[in-house]
């Protein structure tokens, strides 16, 4: 018997829950995204138990950027937030962040939390009252996103707490490409279990991005091309793992992933076999960096990261996309731009990390007009939507939605791997040509 296609309502519900039936086209009316300082704590009086996996920067903040999930959860849930556990093998780090919270005015959310080295320890020691309603996963991606013991935290959550929601940071993994299939297996488990699951591609929640979606939807446009440029400021990147491909999988997979994801959000599925790419490597003249804050000589040469990667591809629907990632800027701010073209329209997102502005050109006018949304906080919006979907599953199908499902995020991961592979193939081919030329000259 042929399988039944999901109804529109089921699709909407699934989109909201993030369990993945059809999530790639979902959008939110930008006016529904409320800034954190203007939100009131979500209603209800019952405790909302949360487990944090990873006690690092994404969870508790750092000077490098505005991310800090604990802070957003405190604002969203108010006194209902009860952190029951922080899981991190770096016990001292976890204990220190917990102590800081307990010394602050949000103590009520943290006073009963316990620190565990592993998720397994938490499962073995928790009391029934500590059963989580949500697990927030911000451990490094090299320790998750697979079905292998010790790197399968998603499967462990699904096994021990079926039905409990998960928020998982991007990228879904950074292991070898051969493990990609395991990512799709996890996506299927999440779908089969109808688990609410959101992945941290927070740029999708920018009001500017949602306005772009709205313009495309309302004008019934077909995207012709996406052009993405992500130039990071490398001077302050002091985490040596980031500079080591064997740990981070490289800057396209670890960081440029945000813009590859935006590309897919607008362009649709990529024909992976069409991906082409080139890179500037660390040992090429053009790749010299004078202000690195780590000692790159400690990283084996084969694991050092490219300084620039440029890629292009065909989307399955015939549109084309291109993407450039650059490790060249110094100082603090990144320089990132993302353009979408459709008949008569240019939608250009500028500076999404610092002060997002959308420049829009429409038919009948040569000017690009700016659209600003001051105080927009996509990190709050993604957490806020995640909690709303957990709490309020039946109400208002047009309301809060999860914009990045696990399955969707695995597809972005697949694209970033395809870019890395294509650039490495091009390099190998080019080196082969150079060797041939040198051999010919010396003969
Ligand atoms: N969306 C964004 O803009 C954004 C920003 C920052 C980080 N991130 C993502 O968040 C994730 C974490 O990055 P970070 O900057 O917080 O890293 P981090 O190194 O600051 O923190 C990671 C923490 O996880 C702990 N850890 C290691 N293995 C673990 C395991 N098996 N279980 C639990 N904890 C474990 C480490 O001890 C460390 O304390 C990465 O995937 C990163 O890409 C996303």
| 382 in contact with ligand 1, CB cutoff 6 A | no
What distance in Å separates the CA atoms of residue 248 and residue 170, rounded to the nearest whole number?
12
| 24 in contact with ligand 1, CB cutoff 6 A | no
What's the pLDDT tens digit per position in 346-366?
A: 999 999 988 999 999 999 999
Three-state SS for 242-273 is HHEHHHHCCHHHHHHHHHHHHHHHHHCCECHH
Comparing CA positions, the residue from 258, 255, 221, 223 lying closest to residue 241 is 255
| 202 in contact with ligand 1, CB cutoff 6 A | yes
Contact (CB, 8 A) for 232 and 251: yes
DSSP string of 100-126, one letter each residue = HHHTSTTHHHHTT-EEESSHHHHHHH-
* Cis peptide upstream of residue 171 (ω within 30 degrees of 0): yes
What's the pLDDT tens digit per position in 404-438?
A: 999 999 999 999 999 999 999 999 998 887 767 76
Q: Which helix or strand (DSSP H or E) is residue 278 part of?
A: strand 276-280
Q: Which ligand 1 atom is at minimum distance from the Cα of 202?
A: 1
Give the distance (Å) from ligand 1 centre to CA of residue 235.
20
| 303 in contact with ligand 1, CB cutoff 6 A | no
Q: Which residues pair with 137 in a beta bridge?
A: 53, 168
Q: The sheet that has 357-361: what strands, in order across it? A: 276-280, 308-314, 320-329, 223-233, 335-342, 345-350, 357-361, 369-372
Burial of 297 (0-12, 13-18, 19+ CB in 10 A): exposed
Give the distance (Å) from ligand 1 centre to CA of residue 143.
10
| 76 in contact with ligand 1, CB cutoff 6 A | no
| 169 in contact with ligand 1, CB cutoff 6 A | yes
| 58 in contact with ligand 1, CB cutoff 6 A | yes
Give the distance (Å) from ligand 1 centre to CA of residue 113.
19
Contact (CB, 8 A) for 384 and 400: yes
pLDDT band at 289 (very low <50, low <70, confident <90, very high): very high
Query: Percent helix, strand, coil in the chain (nearest 5)?
Result: 45, 20, 35
Comparing CA positions, the residue from 155, 157, 147 lying closest to residue 122 is 157
Does the pLDDT value for residue 307 go beyond 60?
Answer: yes
Residue nearest to atom 40 of ligand 1 (CA): 140
Number of Cβ within 10 Å of residue 148's Cβ equals 11
| 230 in contact with ligand 1, CB cutoff 6 A | no
Beta strands (DSSP E) in 203-272 are: 223-233
Q: Which ligand 1 atom is at minimum distance from the Cα of 58?
A: 16
Q: Which residue has the tokens 């508790």?
A: 60
Contact (CB, 8 A) for 59 and 71: no
Q: Which residues pair with 359 in a beta bridge?
A: 348, 370
Q: How far is CA 159 from CA 78, 156, 189, in A?
A: 29, 5, 10
Give the model's pLDDT for residue 5: 43
Give the model's pLDDT for residue 396: 63
Residue nearest to atom 5 of ligand 1 (CA): 58
Contact (CB, 8 A) for 400 and 385: yes
| 88 in contact with ligand 1, CB cutoff 6 A | yes
| 20 in contact with ligand 1, CB cutoff 6 A | no
Average pLDDT over residues 299-308: 98
Average pLDDT over residues 12-34: 67
What's the pLDDT tens digit per position in 399-412?
A: 789 999 999 999 99
DSSP structural state of residue 53: E
Average pLDDT over residues 62-90: 95
Best substitution site from 51, 52, 57 to test ligand 1's pocket, by max atoms within 8 Å of Cβ? 57
What's the pLDDT tens digit per position in 205-240?
A: 999 999 999 999 999 999 999 999 999 999 999 999
Give the distance (Å) from ligand 1 centre to CA of residue 169.
8
| 143 in contact with ligand 1, CB cutoff 6 A | yes
Average pLDDT over residues 99-107: 97
Contact (CB, 8 A) for 196 and 165: yes
What distance in Å separates the CA atoms of residue 356 and residue 381, rounded to the nearest whole number?
15
Give the distance (Å) from ligand 1 centre to CA of residue 56.
5
Give the model's pLDDT for residue 17: 65
Contact (CB, 8 A) for 384 and 76: yes
**Predicted model pTM:** 0.93
Does the pLDDT value for residue 276 go beyond 50?
Answer: yes
| 54 in contact with ligand 1, CB cutoff 6 A | yes
Structure tokens at 177: 């490409």
Give the model's pLDDT for residue 399: 74
What distance in Å separates the CA atoms of residue 90 and residue 84, rounded to the nearest whole number?
17
Q: Which ligand 1 atom is at minimum distance from the Cα of 144?
A: 31
Average pLDDT over residues 117-126: 98
Domains of the chain: 30-200 (3.40.50.720), 203-373+410-429 (3.30.360.10)
What's the pLDDT tens digit per position in 144-187?
A: 999 999 999 999 999 999 999 999 999 999 999 999 999 999 99
Average pLDDT over residues 89-95: 98
| 146 in contact with ligand 1, CB cutoff 6 A | no
Determine the distance from the C-alpha atom of residue 24 to the mean position of all C-alpha atoms in its chain, rounded to a whole number. Answer: 14
| 87 in contact with ligand 1, CB cutoff 6 A | yes
| 141 in contact with ligand 1, CB cutoff 6 A | yes
What distance in Å separates the CA atoms of residue 318 and residue 356, rounded to the nearest whole number?
29
Q: Which ligand 1 atom is at minimum distance from the Cα of 87?
A: 33
pLDDT, mean over the chain: 92
Give the model's pLDDT for residue 354: 86
Does the pLDDT value for residue 22 go beyond 50?
Answer: no
Name the percent of the chain lying above pLDDT 70: 92
What distance in Å separates the CA atoms of residue 18 and residue 196, rounded to the nearest whole number?
6
Structure tokens at 58: 């994404």
| 139 in contact with ligand 1, CB cutoff 6 A | yes
Q: End-to-end distance of the chain based on CA atoms, in angstroms?
A: 68
Residue nearest to atom 21 of ligand 1 (CA): 56
Average pLDDT over residues 114-132: 98
Q: b/e for 42-69, b at 16 or more Cβ within 10 A?
A: beeeebbbbbbbbbbebbbbeeeeebbb
């Amino acid at each position: 018997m042929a399988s039944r296609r999901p109804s529109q309502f089921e699709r909407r519900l699934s989109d909201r829950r993030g369990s993945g039936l059809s999530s790639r086209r979902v959008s939110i009316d930008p006016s529904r995204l409320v800034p954190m300082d203007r939100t009131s704590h979500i209603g209800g009086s019952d405790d909302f138990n949360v487990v944090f996996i990873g006690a690092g920067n994404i969870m508790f903040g750092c000077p490098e950027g505005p991310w800090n999930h604990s802070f957003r959860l405190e604002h969203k849930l108010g006194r209902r937030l009860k952190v029951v556990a922080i899981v991190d093998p770096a016990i001292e780090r976890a204990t220190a962040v917990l102590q800081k919270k307990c010394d602050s005015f949000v103590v009520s959310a943290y006073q009963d939390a316990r620190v565990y080295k592993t998720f397994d320890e938490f499962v073995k020691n928790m009391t029934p009252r500590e059963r989580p309603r949500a697990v927030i996963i911000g451990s490094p991606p090299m320790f998750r996103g697979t079905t292998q013991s010790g790197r399968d935290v998603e499967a462990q959550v699904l096994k021990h707490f079926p039905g409990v929601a998960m928020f998982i940071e991007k990228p879904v993994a950074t292991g070898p490409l051969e493990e990609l299939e395991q990512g799709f297996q996890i996506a299927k488990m999440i779908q089969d279990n109808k688990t609410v699951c959101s992945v941290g591609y927070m740029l999708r929640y920018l009001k500017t991005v949602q306005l772009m979606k709205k313009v495309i939807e309302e004008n019934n446009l077909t995207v012709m091309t996406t052009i993405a440029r992500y130039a990071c400021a490398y001077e302050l990147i002091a985490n040596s793992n980031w500079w080591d491909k064997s740990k981070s999988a490289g800057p396209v997979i670890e960081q440029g992933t945000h813009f590859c994801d935006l590309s897919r959000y607008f362009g649709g599925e990529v024909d992976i076999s069409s991906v082409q790419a080139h890179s500037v490597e660390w040992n090429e003249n053009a790749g010299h960096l004078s202000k690195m804050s780590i000692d790159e000589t400690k990283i084996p040469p084969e694991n050092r990261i490219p300084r620039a990667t440029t890629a292009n591809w065909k989307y399955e629907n015939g549109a084309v996309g291109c993407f450039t990632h650059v490790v060249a800027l110094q100082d603090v701010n990144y320089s990132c731009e993302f353009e979408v073209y459709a008949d008569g329209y240019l939608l250009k997102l500028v500076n999404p990390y610092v002060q997002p502005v959308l420049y829009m050109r429409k038919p009948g006018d040569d000017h690009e007009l700016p659209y600003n949304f001051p105080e927009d906080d996509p990190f709050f919006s993604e957490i806020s939507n995640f909690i709303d979907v957990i709490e309020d599953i039946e109400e208002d199908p047009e309301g809060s939605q999860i914009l990045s499902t696990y399955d969707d995020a695995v597809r972005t991961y697949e694209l970033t791997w395809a870019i890395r592979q294509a650039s490495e193939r091009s390099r190998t081919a080019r080196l082969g040509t150079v060797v041939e030329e040198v051999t010919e000259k010396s003969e």
